[in-house]
Amino acid sequence: MDGSRRSRMQRAAFALAGLAASAAAPAEEGQGWDWMVEPYAWAASIGTDLRTITPPTDADNETSFSDILDKLDGVFMVRVEGRNDDYGMFADFIYLGLAQGKQRRVLSTESDLDTRLLDAAFSFRLSEDRDAGLDVYAGIRYIDVDLATRFTPDNPVFQPRTLDVGNTYVDLLLGARYAWRLSDRWGLTLRGDASVGDTDGTWSTSVMAHYRTRHGAWLLGYRYLDAEFGNGNVDVDLNLSGPLVGYGFRF
């Protein structure tokens, strides 16, 4: 691990520690906290657009979820959230490994993508209802990406070439969430956020319906995420979009 990546990981760890400390203070003052641990599945289609300046190269891939099932190297997704009457905190972690190939007019491409995404934030409630109304939040968006693309020309005169874009990015994350209580059991949540910092900018939006049960809640919705990053020679645009389903265990 190089020094730059280690430094970014330390910054993310310090930010998470700060969020935990901020949440612990109200709990000690007797304000009750509700916690939810939510493993979930995101049936996301994935689009990647890779461009280089030297040599000029352009490669894009759009993979539907049904095709992704055959190409997954690994996947893990979980969200943890705690709330009291005034404040809250959450962490949302995604790991996705994907390998895919594509035949073009004069060459073929093979891409290997490993992505780790962590959103961690501290929220402030602007309404009196713990489960309804407007929340605003601020924190970090941590993205660790390893994207290797091999270009193999159809003409054997030209040599294959591999581009490897691997780096860690830490952004400042700002967002808002609005929840509606539709009935005693049903609710709806709309969320949107954006980040800036090490990346060239990311943004995400989602809409989630939730059905309360005795020990938690079922969640079903749709999420879109777009991230742009790279270096002086390589630019990558990565987007994920699709339905999401999960179950949140309350305690």
Domain boundaries defined on the chain: 3-250
pLDDT for the residue numbered 93: 96
Superfamily of domain 3-250: OMPT-like (2.40.128.90)
**Helical residues (DSSP H) of 69-156, grouped into ranges:** none
What pairs with residue 28 in β-bridges?
none
pLDDT for the residue numbered 102: 67
pLDDT for the residue numbered 21: 46
pLDDT for the residue numbered 24: 42
What pairs with residue 234 in β-bridges?
52
Q: From CA 226, how far away is CA 228, in angstroms rounded?
A: 7
Q: From CA 247, how far away is CA 36, in angstroms rounded?
A: 9
pLDDT for the residue numbered 140: 97
Closest CA to 234 of 143, 146, 164, 144: 164
**Do residues 78 and 93 make contact, with C-beta atoms less than 8 angstroms apart?**
yes
pLDDT for the residue numbered 119: 97
**Do residues 131 and 187 make contact, with C-beta atoms less than 8 angstroms apart?**
yes
pLDDT for the residue numbered 12: 54
Residue type at 170? V
Q: From CA 118, how far away is CA 95, in angstroms rounded?
A: 9
What pairs with residue 151 in β-bridges?
109, 161
> 6 vs 11, 163, 167, 171, 246, CA distance in Å?
9, 22, 11, 15, 32
58 contact partners, CB below 8 Å, separation of at least 6:
49, 50, 51
pLDDT for the residue numbered 25: 44
Dig out the tokens for 35 from the structure: 């916690």
Across the chain, which has 251 residues, the per-10-residue mean pLDDT values are 54 51 43 89 77 56 50 74 92 83 69 86 90 94 82 74 76 97 95 94 96 94 89 74 93 86
**pTM here?**
0.74
